[in-house]
Amino acid sequence: MKNDHGNIVPFPRVKERLIQKGMDALQEKDFKRALHHFQDAYKWDQNHAEIQMGMAICLMELGQLQEARDICKEMLHEDRGNYFTVLQIYLTILVQLGRYEEVQSTIEAVLEENKIPANQAEQFYKLLDFSRRMNKENPNNIELNSFHNEEHLLNNIDEQIKFVRTLKNSNSLKYIQTIQLLLKSQNVHPVIKTMILQELKDQEIVRKIFITKFGREMFIKPIELKDIADFDFTKQVLNILEDYLAIENPTLFEVVKDLWIRHLYVLYPFHPEPLHASLWSAALHQFGYELHGIDIESNEMEELYGVKEHELRVIRGQIQYIEQISNLEI
């Protein structure tokens, strides 16, 4: 909008409306949309605490921890916003980054200044004790020191397997940047990614993680992941196969059952597409027959499961491809 003199005049309360939109999206846990609104508001006011705090929370939830850390660090340095709210988020980010030395030094500095309210002191002392123990266990605090460099790790499956084994005996949050690097990379074997997710799930990691597989991508919280056998779709397919195959050929049913679970393991945490239980059951049934040299015509599967031959062919191709890449020696 321009005035009579040709100068640009902002629409009234643009910043406030953008902040409100950001807060609404944040409440709905739509962090991408919320971040977009806060970033737009930031263009109007780069010193507004609520905008910066909103950006930091969104970035943290989206896994962009370094950017979130930088915002919180600036807010603390400039004494912007509620000091202890910003400090708690800042320390949470540092823990997720595995930067325990920085956690320790930050809390010690705050304690020296005698700033911590009495009702929050115990929480900070516990975190201080935890960070000191982590620094003692891992004095160098360098994620990739045992795995050469990022490029080598991303292109060397033996190093990736070694990394997964390391996670089993460590706090995975120490390696969160490396984990995110591996889960994002197209070069990393999908089975390696599944193994990493399973370890994060076992450790009940609550922080949101980004993963891509087979051209699909999503954000997940490992603690919320289900076991493969607990997926409703897993059970639906097995129930149908049990009805049609288990009585006829119990041995082959067990083989096909293992094949199905292995297929899901490679895809994990994504689901097969389409979610058509009869179609997947028919394709697994037919593929199992082929593995054992048993001849069966596609039209028999069409009639038995009520599916189309061209759909069956596509799914069977997917099963064959996943089966070919699923054998990874650990």
For the segment 306-322, what is each residue's pLDDT rounded down to a tens digit? 899 889 999 999 999 99
Residue 264 has pLDDT above 90, yes or no: yes
Contacts of residue 217, defined as CB under 8 A and 6 or more positions apart, other chains included, come to 210, 211
In angstroms, rounded to a whole number, what is the distance separating the alpha carbons of residues 118 and 325?
Answer: 57
Residue 27 has pLDDT above 70, yes or no: yes
Which of 12-16, 115-119, 147-151 is predicted least confidently? 147-151
The upper half-sphere exposure of residue 277, i.e. CA atoms within 13 Å in the direction of its Cβ, equals 13
pLDDT at 50: 92
pLDDT at 102: 85
In angstroms, rounded to a whole number, what is the distance separating the alpha carbons of residues 279 and 313?
Answer: 10
Contact (Cβ atoms closer than 8 angstroms) between residue 165 and residue 128: no
Q: Name the CA radius of gyration of the chain, rounded.
A: 26
Which of 8-12, 92-96, 150-154, 211-215 is predicted least confidently? 8-12
Identify the band that residue 138 occupies on the pLDDT scale cut at 50, 70 and 90.
low
Which of 161-165, 179-183, 187-191, 294-298 is predicted least confidently? 294-298
pLDDT at 149: 62
Question: Stretch 26-34: mean pLDDT, rounded?
Answer: 90
Identify the band that residue 97 occupies on the pLDDT scale cut at 50, 70 and 90.
confident
Contact (Cβ atoms closer than 8 angstroms) between residue 271 and residue 231: yes
Question: Stretch 189-195: mean pLDDT, rounded?
Answer: 94
In angstroms, rounded to a whole number, what is the distance separating the alpha carbons of residues 234 and 141?
Answer: 41
pLDDT at 256: 93
In angstroms, rounded to a whole number, what is the distance separating the alpha carbons of residues 83 and 75?
Answer: 8
Residue 184 has pLDDT above 80, yes or no: yes
Measured CA to CA in angstroms, residue 172 lies from 40, 82, 186, 262 at distances of: 35, 30, 21, 25
pLDDT tens per residue, range 266-300 = 999 999 999 999 999 999 999 998 888 887 776 78
User: Which backbone phi and psi does 135 adopt, to 5 degrees?
Assistant: -70, -35
Q: Supply 293's token pair.
A: 């040299």
Closest listed residue to residue 130, CA positions, set 158, 171, 100: 100
Residue 167 has pLDDT above 60, yes or no: yes
The domains of the chain, with CATH numbers, are: 14-97 (1.25.40.10), 150-224 (no CATH), 228-325 (1.10.472)
Closest listed residue to residue 214, CA positions, set 96, 325, 86: 325
